[in-house]
């Protein structure tokens, strides 16, 4: 299985570049055409493949970092939202509906007390 580590691919790239350089020197000494040499073509093809793989590894890393940043932002927003909600609940008085319910309940209790007092007195 091919390596997915950037350091390994960089080392492979350096080795291939060295092989290409040596092969080009050898061909220049012989005086042959660099473009027609099949070994040199193969080495350059391998170099292009390694460069593509390095780019893919960097893209994956960039995507991972982007997802991590988005996740951290989302978590921070959720924490901030929860904090604001808690703060609002503490600051907010009871709603008008709740106030109305409370008032009606107090009135019923007063009426019940008055009724008991009236029946107790009569």
Judge whether residue 91 has pLDDT over 70. no
What does the domain layout of the chain look like in residue ranges? 6-91, 95-122
Distance CA 86, CA 117 (A): 44
Q: Over the stretch 16-38, which tens digit does the pLDDT of each residue have?
A: 999 999 999 999 999 988 889 99
Judge whether residue 1 has pLDDT over 70. no
Q: How confident is the model at residue 119 (pLDDT cuts 50, 70, 90)?
A: confident
Distance CA 35, CA 22 (A): 15
Arithmetic mean of pLDDT, 112-119 = 85
Q: How confident is the model at residue 56 (pLDDT cuts 50, 70, 90)?
A: very high
The answer to whether 23 touches 43, Cβ cutoff 8 Å, is yes
Distance CA 91, CA 64 (A): 40
Cβ neighbours for 24, distance < 8 A, ≥ 6 positions apart: 34, 40
The residue whose two tokens read 């009569």 is 122
């Amino acid at each position: 299985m091919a390596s997915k580590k950037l350091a390994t691919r960089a080392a492979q790239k350096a080795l291939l570049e060295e092989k290409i350089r040596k092969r080009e020197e050898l061909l220049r000494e012989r005086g042959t055409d660099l473009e027609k040499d099949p070994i040199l073509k193969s080495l350059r093809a391998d170099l292009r493949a390694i460069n593509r793989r390095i780019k893919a590894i960097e893209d994956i890393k960039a995507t991972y970092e982007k997802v991590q940043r988005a996740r951290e932002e989302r978590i921070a927003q959720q924490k901030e939202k929860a904090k604001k909600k808690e703060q609002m609940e503490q600051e907010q008085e009871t709603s008008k509906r709740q106030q109305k319910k409370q008032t009606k309940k107090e009135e019923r209790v007063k009426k019940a007390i008055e009724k008991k007092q009236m029946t107790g007195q009569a």
